[in-house]
């Protein structure tokens, strides 16, 4: 599968969002996933295997945080890479399935819960961690329900998408090793989820009006 073929297939699975016309960061991320996905596909690695590996790495994050926040941050980086690769492998090997889509979505939510648990281990207040998790779940729930109600496109790429959460989680754990403020990254996570939810709400109302 060529890059153009992959980009078109990826766009069809993401509400018509064309990665070739995205920002350099997004385009580079999708292109990297395509390149590695081709390598994995040639070695017959299944999409669900990649998803499972990413999920297991996420679950290990809060346990790693008990001993080393830097190790926990590194594991989040690995998990984020796996998150982009499972879809790439599915498209490249023509193994996109509905059950795979559901599994990947559930794994993403469990993974984010594990990331936030690492902040709790690091000393962030439990109520703040819970609020941040609830806000990110609500963000995804609104988009899922809007799609079920007939919104055919992604709606809008908000400031609170999963890549943003991964970035806050990884860099936030590193920041805590320098500035002992474990609540700060979680508060930023929560604020961006509220901002993203506001953006998404406007897009959903426009699409379903």
Residue 83 annotated to the active site: no
Q: Judge contact between 207 and 143, C-beta under 8 A.
A: no
Contact 200, 139 (CB under 8 A): yes
DSSP E strands in the chain: the ranges are none
Choosing from 83, 86, 104, 108, which is the catalytic residue? 108
Of 44, 164, 50, nearest in space to 103 by CA = 50
The two three-digit tokens of residue 69, written as one number: 């926040």
To the nearest 5 percent, what fractions of the chain are helix, strand and coil? 80, 0, 20
Cβ-contact 185, 169 below 8 angstroms: yes
Which residues are catalytically annotated?
A: 108
């Amino acid at each position: 599968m060529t890059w153009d073929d992959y980009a078109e297939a990826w766009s069809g699975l993401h509400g018509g969002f064309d990665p070739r016309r995205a920002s350099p960061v997004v385009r580079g991320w999708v292109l990297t996933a395509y390149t590695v996905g081709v390598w994995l596909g040639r070695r017959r690695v299944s999409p669900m295997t990649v998803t499972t590996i990413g999920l297991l790495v996420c679950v290990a994050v809060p346990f790693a945080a008990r001993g080393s926040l830097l190790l926990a941050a590194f594991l989040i980086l690995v998990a984020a890479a796996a998150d982009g690769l499972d879809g790439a492998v599915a498209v490249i090997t023509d193994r996109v399935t509905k059950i795979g889509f559901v599994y990947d979505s559930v794994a993403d939510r469990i993974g984010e819960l594990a990331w936030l648990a690492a902040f709790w281990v690091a000393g962030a207040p439990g109520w703040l961690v819970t609020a941040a998790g609830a806000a990110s779940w609500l963000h995804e729930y609104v988009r899922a329900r809007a799609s079920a109600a007939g919104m055919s496109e992604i709606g809008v790429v908000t400031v609170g998408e999963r890549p943003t959460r991964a970035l806050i989680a990884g860099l936030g754990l590193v920041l805590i090793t320098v500035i002992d403020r474990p609540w700060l990254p979680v508060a930023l996570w929560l604020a961006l989820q509220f901002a993203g939810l506001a953006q998404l709400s406007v897009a959903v109302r426009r699409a379903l009006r």
